[in-house]
Amino acid sequence: MKPGRRRVIIAGVGLLVIVLGVILVAFLEPEDTPEAKARRLLARLRSPGMLRYIRIRLGLEQWPPYEDEILADVVALGEPAVPGIVEALRDHDNLVRAAAAECLGQMGPAARQAVPALALALKDEDRFVRERAARALGGIGPPAKGAVDDLILALKDEETSVRWYATIALRSIGPSAKDAVPALVSTLKHKDESLRLAAAEALGAIGPVAKEAVPELLRALKDQNEDVRNAAEMALTSIDPEARVPDLIKALKHSDDSVRAKAFRALGQIGPPARDAVPALVEVLRREDRGDRFLASIALIRIGADAVGQLIECLQEQDTHVRFMAADALGSIGPAAKAAIPALKKALNDEAPAVGYAAADALKKIQTAAPRAPATRKAVE
C-alpha cells in the first residue's frame, strides 16, 4: 500500500473515532445523569394494556414489592433527579404517573421544584394519581404552599381518599394554608369521620390565623367520634388558647376522670395565658385524688410565674401533701419563683421531713441560673 493512501486511511479512522466519541458524549453520557436514570426506572413500571385493565378491575392500583424497590431506587437519586420524575408525571401510563408522584412525596422538601407539576396532577383523570399527588404535596410540607389553591379544590374531589390526602397536605403546609380555612370548616361538617378528624387537625396546624373556625370547632367538641372531639380540643387550644380557659376550668370538676385529665393537660399546654385557671388548679391540690393533684401541679408549673403567689400561700396549708406539692412546683418553676425564697427557707423546718426536703431542693433550683426540668411525680406517705 502506498504511503499516501495509508495516511489517508489512518486519518479517516481517526476522524471516525472522534465522531463516535462525540456521539457517545452527546447521547450516552446524559443517560447516566440522575434525571435520566429516574426516567428509565419509572418507565419500567408501565403495564401492558390488558394487565392494566385487570389491575384496575381488581382494585390493585398499587405496586407489588419488586416495583416498590424501583421507587426506592428513584428516591435515592435525590434532588438532581426531580426534573426527570416531573417528566414522568406526564407519562401516558397511569401507574407511572402515580409512581412519580409517590417518589416526589417521599423525597420531601427536596422536591419543592415539583410543586407546580404536582398541583396540576391533582386534576389528573386517574383517581390514584390525584391521591398520590395530594399525598406528595403533604410530604413536601410548607414548601408546597404554592399549591394551596389547588388543594382547596381537591377538597371537593369525588373520591374521599383524594379529599383526605388533600386535607392532610394542608395540615402539613401549616399557617401558610390559611386561605383553606373556610373549606376546612365545611369539611368539619362532612359525614365521613376521617375527613372531620383530618380537618380539625389541619385547622389546629394552621393555628391562630384560623380563628374563624372556632365556632365550628366548638360544635365539634360534641362530635360522636372521640378522636374528632380530641382533635377539636387541640385545635381550639392552638388557635385561641385564652378563649379555651373558662371551659377548661369548668372541666376540672367533671365527674369523668378522662375529661379532667384532658383539661389539666390543655391548661398546661396553654401555659402562661392560662393564668386565670390558677385558683382552680390550686384548689385541686387539696383533693384526695393523687392523680388530679399531680396533673394540677404540672399545669401550675407550666403556667409559671403567675402561679407563684398562690403556691407560696399553699406552703401554709395544714395538709402535708399540699405543702409538699407547692414546694415541689415552686422548685420546678425555677428562677421565676424567686419571690418564694423567704417562704421556702421557712419551710426548711417544716414538721414533715418530706416538705423540708422539697423546700431545700426548690431553693437550689430557684437560686441556680440554669433552668431545671419540671418535677417528676412524687408521693408523700
Same domain, 120 and 204: no
Cell numbers 372556632 correspond to 214
Residue of higher predicted confidence among 140 and 3: 140
Same domain, 235 and 262: no
Same domain, 282 and 190: no
Measure the CA–CA gap between 132 and 128, rounded to whole angstroms. 6
Query: CA-CA distances (angstroms) from residue 115 to 5, 94, 140?
Result: 62, 19, 8
Write the pLDDT tens digit of every residue in 226-246: 999 989 988 998 898 888 899
Write the pLDDT tens digit of every residue in 270-321: 999 999 999 999 999 988 888 999 999 999 999 999 999 999 999 999 999 9
Residue 13 lies in a domain: no
pLDDT at 120 over 90: yes
Same domain, 41 and 93: yes
Count Cα neighbours of 353 within 13 Å in the Cβ-side half-sphere: 1
Measure the CA–CA gap between 166 and 159, rounded to whole angstroms. 11
Q: Which domain holds residue 219?
A: 185-239
Residue 2 lies in a domain: no
| Confidence tier at 25 by pLDDT (50, 70, 90) | very low
DSSP structural state of residue 351: S
Same domain, 269 and 209: no
Same domain, 210 and 308: no
How many structural domains compose the chain? Answer: 3
pLDDT at 50 over 60: no
The x, y and z cell numbers of residue 344, run together, are 421556702
* pLDDT attached to residue 210: 95
Q: Report, as an integer, the average pLDDT of 7-34.
A: 55
Same domain, 198 and 326: no
Measure the CA–CA gap between 102 and 129, rounded to whole angstroms. 9
Measure the CA–CA gap between 179 and 181, rounded to whole angstroms. 6
* pLDDT attached to residue 7: 58
Residue 331 lies in a domain: yes
Residue 24 lies in a domain: no
Residue 116 lies in a domain: yes
Same domain, 261 and 285: yes
Q: Residue 305 sits in a domain of what CATH number? A: 1.25.10.10
Count Cα neighbours of 273 within 13 Å in the Cβ-side half-sphere: 14
The residue among 201, 222, 239 that closes a domain is 239
Entry field: residues in the chain: 381
Measure the CA–CA gap between 157 and 150, rounded to whole angstroms. 11
Average pLDDT, the chain: 85
Q: Which of 310, 335, 342, 346 is nearest to 325 (CA)?
A: 310
Percent of the chain whose predicted confidence (pLDDT) is above 90 = 65
Backbone torsion region of residue 229, taken as left when φ is above 0, otherwise alpha when ψ lies between -120 and 50, otherwise beta? alpha
* pLDDT attached to residue 370: 44
Q: Report, as an integer, the average pLDDT of 152-177.
A: 96
The residue among 239, 266, 282 that closes a domain is 239
Same domain, 127 and 215: no
Question: CA angle 34-37-40, nearest 5°?
Answer: 155
DSSP structural state of residue 26: I
Measure the CA–CA gap between 231 and 238, rounded to whole angstroms. 10
Same domain, 307 and 226: no
Coil, helix or strand for 2? Answer: coil
Residue of higher predicted confidence among 47 and 300: 300
pLDDT at 257 over 60: yes
Residue 10 lies in a domain: no
Same domain, 279 and 379: yes
Same domain, 330 and 282: yes
Q: Report, as an integer, the average pLDDT of 328-336.
A: 94
Query: CA-CA distances (angstroms) from residue 13 to 10, 28, 236?
Result: 5, 21, 79
* Gyration radius of the chain over CA positions: 32
Residue 1 lies in a domain: no
Q: Which of 6-10, 98-102, 145-149, 316-320 has the lowest mean pLDDT?
A: 6-10
Q: Which residues contact 291 (CB under 8 A, 6 or more apart)?
A: 257, 261
Cβ(269)–Cβ(347) below 8 Å: no
